[in-house]
Amino acid sequence: MKKIGYAVVQMFVGTLLWFYFKKTAHHGLENIPKDTPVIFLSNHQNAFLDTILIATNCKRKPYFLTRSDVFKNTVLKGIFSFFKMIPIYRIRDGFATLQKNQYTFDFCSSLLNKNEALVVFPEGDHNLKRKVRPLSKGFIRIILNALEANPELNIHLVPVGVNYQAAKNFPDSAALYYGSAISVKEFLEQSSINNSEQALKNHVFKALKNLTTHIEDDAKYAFTIQKLEAFGVDYTKPKEVNEKLLYLSSISKIPETITEANSFDLLKKWIFMIINFPVILAWNLTIKPKIKDLAFLSTFRFAYAVVIFPIYYIFLALGTYLFTQDIISGLLVTMTVFVYNLFYTKTM
């Protein structure tokens, strides 16, 4: 019954994501092994949205390693457990809590032995920067713990590059790239286990750099972003962007470009803001100012839209009906606003 409930929620959330994003794309799904233990290893830019984009489209029903502090709320703990989230403890949670990770590693080991799938964000935390950050050894510990329990376990690692055109903006586009599966047996040789661990980390790191935009130089990061955007790159195509980065590394000045405002797009935006004025005003006054970490901006905006827009449409229909005393008018006005919002999201 729980599996059916999860599948229904998975489909429902996938539908909500379709309404929220201008477009989403999933490449390399054929690289995901079936009926074998899999660990998805993804870059982590956009907080909870990274998680649900993978969960709704990866063709598996994975468990997720999630920072432990979100489990402190009893109600949320139940919700996160339903969505197959497993707490992972960090030093910042208190040194004593690290001992609890052994239970997490043992639980992950049991899941892998049942041919289940895990999603791990090996960078450790989220960051909006367009680069792959150094990988922690947490996923290595999970692998070794599982192999200690079952040395014959055929674990496969699938690197995942999550890419956003403009993570802080709405509407946005997202593209996920699933790289070739990596057989752990090819790396973790018992004769040179330490070297194999590092080789595995390096291999995953290199794969992730090819699956998402990777700007190496932090000192020139802002300048590099300016150069990329002067060329109008599409960040949902990381291979093209990384090739452009190689070319731009030889350019010392930002190319001069003339960007003319699209009057039709401006008109569409103004109409969107006018017909959704109460929703946008409430967002800007109540929720948005409280978001300190910008990597959570899209996550909260998505959750806000999912909850508030259905309520707004109901009140819009009731308000129109009370004003006109005509139920058809109420439905037509509400449907017109809904269709326009969808048009705006898909064409901006």
Give the CATH number for residue 42: 3.40.1130.10
Are 288 and 307 part of one and the same domain? yes
For residue 225, give both structure tokens: 């972003």
Instruction: State whether 170 and 227 are in the same domain.
Output: no
pTM assigned to the model: 0.90
The residue type found at 40 is F
Domain stop point among 178, 211, 244: 211
**Short-list 286, 348, 338, CA closest to 317:** 338
For residues 207 and 221, state if they share a domain: no
175 and 254 in a single domain? The answer is no
pLDDT tens, 95-129? 556 677 788 888 999 999 999 999 999 998 888 99
What confidence score (pLDDT) does residue 191 get?
Answer: 47
Whether residue 167 sits in one domain with residue 237: no
Q: Are residues 128 and 226 in the same domain?
A: no
107, 241: one domain: no
Residue 69 and residue 106 share a domain: yes
Domain coverage including residue 224: 213-259
112 and 138 both lie in a single domain? yes
What pLDDT score does 24 carry? 96
Report pLDDT for 97.
63
Last residue of a domain, one of 148, 177, 211: 211
At residue 340, the pLDDT reads: 98
Compute the distance between CA of residue 108 and CA of residue 64 in angstroms, rounded to an integer: 10
Q: What is the pLDDT of residue 190?
A: 52
What's the rounded Cα separation, in Å, for the pair 316 and 288?
23
> In this predicted structure, what is the pLDDT of residue 99?
72
Q: What are phi and psi of 164, to 5 degrees?
A: -120, 140
Residues with pLDDT less than 70, the chain? 1-2, 68-81, 90-98, 189-195, 251-261
**Among residues 228, 244, 259, which one ends one of the domains?**
259
- Per the structure, the count of domains in the chain is 3
Residues 276 and 198 in one domain: no
In this prediction, residue 293 carries a pLDDT of: 87
Question: Is the CB of residue 196 less than 8 Å from the CB of residue 190?
Answer: no
Taking residue 195's Cβ as centre, other Cβ atoms within 10 Å add up to 11
Is the same domain home to 165 and 76? yes
Do 244 and 269 sit in the same domain of this protein? no
